[in-house]
Amino acid sequence: MENFVFSNKTELIFGRGVEQQVGQKVSACAKKVLLHYGGGSIKRTGLYDRITASLRESGVDFIELGGVQPNPRVTLVRQGIELCRKEGVDFILAVGGGSVIDSAKAIGVGVPYDGDVWDFFARKAAPEATLPVGVVLTIPAAGSESSNSMVITNEEGLLKKGYNTVLIRPQFAFLNPELTYTLPFYQTACGASDMLAHIMERYFTTVQHVDVSDRMCEGVMRSILFNAPILKDQPENYDARAEIMLAGTIAHNDSLQPGRIGDWASHGIEHELSAIYDIAHGAGLAIIFPAWMRYVYHTDINRFVQFAVRVMDVDLSFGDPEAIVEEGIRRLEAFYQRMELPIRLHEIGIDASRFEEMAQKAAPRGAFQVLDAGDICKIFELAL
Amino acid sequence: MENFVFSNKTELIFGRGVEQQVGQKVSACAKKVLLHYGGGSIKRTGLYDRITASLRESGVDFIELGGVQPNPRVTLVRQGIELCRKEGVDFILAVGGGSVIDSAKAIGVGVPYDGDVWDFFARKAAPEATLPVGVVLTIPAAGSESSNSMVITNEEGLLKKGYNTVLIRPQFAFLNPELTYTLPFYQTACGASDMLAHIMERYFTTVQHVDVSDRMCEGVMRSILFNAPILKDQPENYDARAEIMLAGTIAHNDSLQPGRIGDWASHGIEHELSAIYDIAHGAGLAIIFPAWMRYVYHTDINRFVQFAVRVMDVDLSFGDPEAIVEEGIRRLEAFYQRMELPIRLHEIGIDASRFEEMAQKAAPRGAFQVLDAGDICKIFELAL
């Protein structure tokens, strides 16, 4: 186990109807609020009305900025920063999924910074302060509601870049599984794929003796594998929705991280894919992860045997570890297919024409095995 | 899953040598510090010298109060409160195990309170403020380094009472597994028993659909069952010490709690036992828990079957669930015995003479099954 420092200040308020308390909560920590959201689904479902009513009842002064797109754009972030400065906003309330929260986080660190917010993502500067951010979560997937990370897309050059700092962990997150009843199954599936990937990125480490967190990772993965498919036929199954929502937060709030070094190559490779083709992150991960696994597992085959046995219920036998690993990967692919996700690039009409370009942008990547552009090209080929 | 609110502010600084940073850390948040510790083992091991050197190097002004006993006494807490007030202390640094930390927490809430600190434990008042507490942990067991609870013994009347509030979570905890190399095996064993009990108290719930946290509980329990016995022959095995130290913190910091209602009857019953007989808490739990299990398992036999199968590796078969449960309990007892802990009262010379008195003090207890004094007497009899 590696030495580590862990802290997570986010308060989780979880369960049926909890978003009714949002006005009260915000009023305790803000004078002027930016309400930030996406494409309008929160208006269709009535959530927008409930949130604004709750804010008004608690006497919270707020302005709005909607229109966050999937793969949130730096252009809107810049607009949000200007708006917050002009209106003297001191708190951002993000109502939505990972894109909205990431956009809110980027606005948060942008407001007190003199330069352009993209500087952080371009590694030209590091944020030193932020406006606090609160969350009402509508899509369990990215884990951004309690994570230290944000991912923003710069339309000029199709760059999709992440940034991590504990500074940007939200103050609080309201998590009501009922709010996810209306998610299309495809979005539920992409969410499950994303949270599973957040755990696998941590799980596949070369750090030895991480037994407690191995077992916690395995437990949460098994729970996702069991509960997510239930939602295909039963989108309003509260119990399964609750497990998935909780799993999504735990997957990325560093509870499963202690003493580990994550890999994150699959995430990095997928970001290049979705920056160019604008596919859903979770769908891209379902394609990239099995290919990555097949390319790297020889680095520590025992870890992949453990995954196959403990997570995918493949019987342990010592004769042919490669067969056990392959069976584990196939069962993971079968899960993705059951969730109606693609597992190969050709299924979504992507060919090899831009492999080289994406590989160059992504390289170098990884910690379990460090990958150069040539390696990443081969992973794309395995995913074809 | 029940609705829940979760927050945990404690920063964990984990690994080899981390306690060297304690002066720097304390100097950032304190002007005058009370250094609080136990019976002097930290002086024998040299830890005291390293901590005080680190404090001095960082220019921290501190005073000392040692002498905390196992089952920490309210008399010393009162003494600490007076001392802090007199000397204008604004931060308490607890160096030790659960007893020292609990004593520090009680001093912390006592200082800003006008009445007597026992009022909190007697449920006559609720703390509204506290001096902040930091920790250097030397015994992985109680989980107090990141928990919201403290347990104090009042010598008048042999009362041992707990109090829970998020107010008392420590600001930070330094966790260096190397500091636990010198623990006698008996203390290591009592610690493992205590942390296992913290998880079992949460695991045995009547709340249905708590799959994510079930699996996390099971994972951490399995890790304790695997790693703790290694320390009998290899007290300086860093990896096993690290797993146990991490497990002890996670077991009681509410990461394993989301949406569950814990039972806590075994803890309550054991507190009456150790208040009168002054036995180690972990040893008392190894005696009480199997008896409690045998008394209550019919309330939800499936939960106990799940425990036997998933934690104790008993083969699942549907013919005789009672046999599966009994086998699970016997394997738990076998673990305690392997850890050289008693599993019956007679082994430590306790007879039935004060069962009635202890049962009256403890009742009513429990949530999985609510127990009255008669029930608790029967559990003592099963433990005889």
pLDDT reading at A330 higher than 90: yes
Residues of B in contact with A7 (CB under 8 A): 9-12
Closest by alpha carbon to B135, among B184, B168, B164? B168
Residue of chain B minimizing CA distance to A310? B219
Task: Note the pLDDT of residue B139.
Answer: 97
* CA B345 remoteness from chain centre: 21
Contact A212 B13 (CB under 8 A): no
pLDDT reading at A254 higher than 80: yes
Q: Are A180 and A145 in contact (CB under 8 A)?
A: no
Please give the helix or strand (H or E) that residue B172 lies within, else none.
Answer: strand B172-175
Closest CB to B223: pick one of A6, A12, A211: A211
Contact B6 A14 (CB under 8 A): yes
- The dihedral built from the CA positions of residue A300, A302, A308 and A314, taken in this order, carries a sign that is positive
Task: Note the pLDDT of residue B278.
Answer: 79
pLDDT reading at B245 higher than 80: yes
| DSSP E strand stretches across B98-157 | 133-137, 149-154
Q: How many helices (H) and strands (E) does chain B have?
A: 16, 8
Average pLDDT of A189-199? 98
Q: Which of A12-21, B9-18, B159-168 has the lowest mean pLDDT?
A: B159-168
Average pLDDT of A193-208? 98
pLDDT-derived band at B346 (thresholds 50, 70, 90) equals very high
Q: Rounded CA gap, B373 and B384, in Å?
A: 16
Average pLDDT of B252-273? 95
Task: Note the pLDDT of residue B159.
Answer: 84
Instruction: Identify the residue whose tokens are 């016997």.
Output: B330
pLDDT reading at A158 higher than 90: no
Residue of chain B minimizing CA distance to A246? B212
Tokens of A264: 């994150």
Contact B9 A13 (CB under 8 A): no
Average pLDDT of B121-145? 97
Residue of chain A minimizing CA distance to B219? A215
Contact A258 B243 (CB under 8 A): no
| Amino acid identity, position B29 | C
Quote the DSSP letter at residue A130.
-
Q: Rounded CA gap, B355 and B303, in Å?
A: 29
Average pLDDT of B335-347? 98
Task: Note the pLDDT of residue A278.
Answer: 79
Average pLDDT of B59-83? 96
Quote the DSSP letter at residue B345.
G
Task: Note the pLDDT of residue A156.
Answer: 86
pLDDT > 70 fraction of chain A, expressed in percent and rounded: 100
Strand-pair partners of A123? none
Q: Are A139 and A97 in contact (CB under 8 A)?
A: yes
Pairing state between β B159-164 and B149-154: antiparallel
Q: Which of B110-114, B153-157, B170-174 has the lowest mean pLDDT?
A: B153-157
What does the pLDDT look like over B41-68, one tens digit per residue?
999 999 999 999 999 999 999 999 999 9
pLDDT reading at B70 higher than 90: no
pLDDT-derived band at A273 (thresholds 50, 70, 90) equals very high
Average pLDDT of A101-124? 97
Contact A213 B6 (CB under 8 A): no
Contact A15 B2 (CB under 8 A): yes
Tokens of B129: 């403020």
Average pLDDT of B352-358? 97
Q: Rounded CA gap, A349 and A236, in Å?
A: 32
Closest by alpha carbon to A166, among A254, A37, A81? A254
Q: Which of A1-5, A157-161, A377-381, B152-156 has the lowest mean pLDDT?
A: A157-161
Task: Note the pLDDT of residue B350.
Answer: 97
Residues of A in contact with B258 (CB under 8 A): 12, 14, 246
Residues of A in contact with B250 (CB under 8 A): 212, 216
**Cis-peptide, bond into residue A321, ω within 30° of zero:** no
CA distance B254 to chain A (A): 11
Mean pLDDT across chain A: 96
Task: Note the pLDDT of residue A383.
Answer: 98
Task: Note the pLDDT of residue B62.
Answer: 98
Task: Note the pLDDT of residue B155.
Answer: 87
Over B26-92, what HEC string results? HHCCCCEEEEECCCCHHHHCCHHHHHHHHHHHCCCEEEEECCCCCCCEHHHHHHHHHHHHHHCCCEE
CA distance B211 to chain A (A): 6
Largest Cα separation within chain A, whole Å, is: 68
Average pLDDT of B352-367? 96
What does the pLDDT look like over B22-45, one tens digit per residue?
999 999 999 999 999 998 899 999
pLDDT reading at A149 higher than 80: yes
Mean pLDDT across chain B: 96
pLDDT-derived band at A40 (thresholds 50, 70, 90) equals confident
Closest by alpha carbon to B202, among B254, B271, B144? B254
pLDDT-derived band at B98 (thresholds 50, 70, 90) equals very high
Tokens of B157: 């009347």
Average pLDDT of A295-307? 98
pLDDT reading at A90 higher than 80: yes
pLDDT-derived band at A184 (thresholds 50, 70, 90) equals very high
What does the pLDDT look like over B288-304, one tens digit per residue?
999 999 999 999 999 99
pLDDT reading at B157 higher than 80: no
pLDDT-derived band at A63 (thresholds 50, 70, 90) equals very high
Contact B14 A246 (CB under 8 A): no
pLDDT reading at A188 higher than 80: yes
